[in-house]
Amino acid sequence: MKILVGGQPREVRVLFSEEQIHNRIVEIAAEINSCPTPDQSALVVLVVLHGALLFAADLVRHIAMPTEIESVRIRSYHGTQSTGKIELLSQLPARLKGRHVLVVEDIIDSGRSIAFLRNELNSLGVASMRVAALLDKPEAHEETIQADFVGFKIGRNFVIGYGLDLDGHYRNLPYVAEVLGS
């Protein structure tokens, strides 16, 4: 398949199929289930919108402990390049204070979004914060951050599908594909 990136046609290649994603999510959920909250309180899954929408929806179905779902909207990307600036497009729910929070992200690239959220959540006074990311680009990290649960490590190429977008498009693809040479 070819898509247009900035007016230029680019080849797209499937990296992870629907089945591979499903199987990995079941494994990640098992890891999460093996680390219950220390005080048995409900886990609060904080979905980072819109990218993590599909991942979170599939992941929570396999989490076997009391779970609540909250969301936050942040934005850091325009096209295939990070702007380096994080915008909070919705307020963090105040009820996260004192709670054990699992941030669910689609992908970690520079790590700035997670570093930003860590700061915000610390200021809010959460009891703990852990991070589950479907995808991680270790070579692109600019912040020293580490996700507690990672689906797949990938290279630097831009990826689309399964929640991940290119200027708002392609989130609905059931697989993750990379844009070659991006």
Instruction: Give the whole-angstrom CA distance, residue 132 versus residue 148.
Output: 6
Asked if 97 and 126 count as a contact pair (C-beta separation under 8 A), the reply is: yes
Rounded distance between C-alpha atoms, residue 33 and residue 25, angstroms: 12
Which of 54, 48, 26 is CA-nearest to residue 170?
54
Taking alpha carbons only, the member of 24, 7, 67 closest to residue 162 is 24
- The pairing of beta strand 81-88 with beta strand 67-78: antiparallel
- When asked if residue 110 is in the footprint of ligand IMP (CB under 6 A), the reply is yes
109 is catalytic: yes
**Per rule CB under 6 A, is residue 113 in the interface with ligand IMP?**
yes
Taking the least distance from each CB to Mg ion, the nearer of 37 and 46 is 46
**From Mg ion, ligand IMP, none, interface partner of 164 (C-beta below 5 to 8 A by class):** ligand IMP
Closest contact distance (angstroms) between CB of 157 and ligand IMP is 7
Per-residue contact string for residues 100-139; x = within reach of Mg ion by CB under 5 A: ------x---------------------------------
Binding mask 133-162 for ligand IMP (x = CB under 6 A): -------------------------xx---
At closest approach, how far in Å is the CB of 121 from ligand IMP? 15
Is residue 51 close enough to count as binding Mg ion by CB under 5 A?
A: yes
The piece of 39-47, 54-62, 110-118, 124-132 that touches ligand IMP (CB under 6 A) is: 110-118
Size of interface with Mg ion, in residues (CB under 5 A): 2
Q: Say if strands 176-179 and 8-16 run parallel, antiparallel, or are unpaired.
A: antiparallel
**Cα–Cα nearest to 164, from 141, 142, 134, 144:** 134
Measured CA to CA, the distance from residue 99 to residue 108 in angstroms comes to 23
Cβ proximity to Mg ion: between 41 and 76 the closer is 76
The DSSP secondary-structure symbol of 180 reads T
Chain positions contacting ligand IMP, by CB under 6 A:
48, 51, 76-77, 82, 105-113, 158-159, 164
Chain positions contacting Mg ion, by CB under 5 A:
51, 106
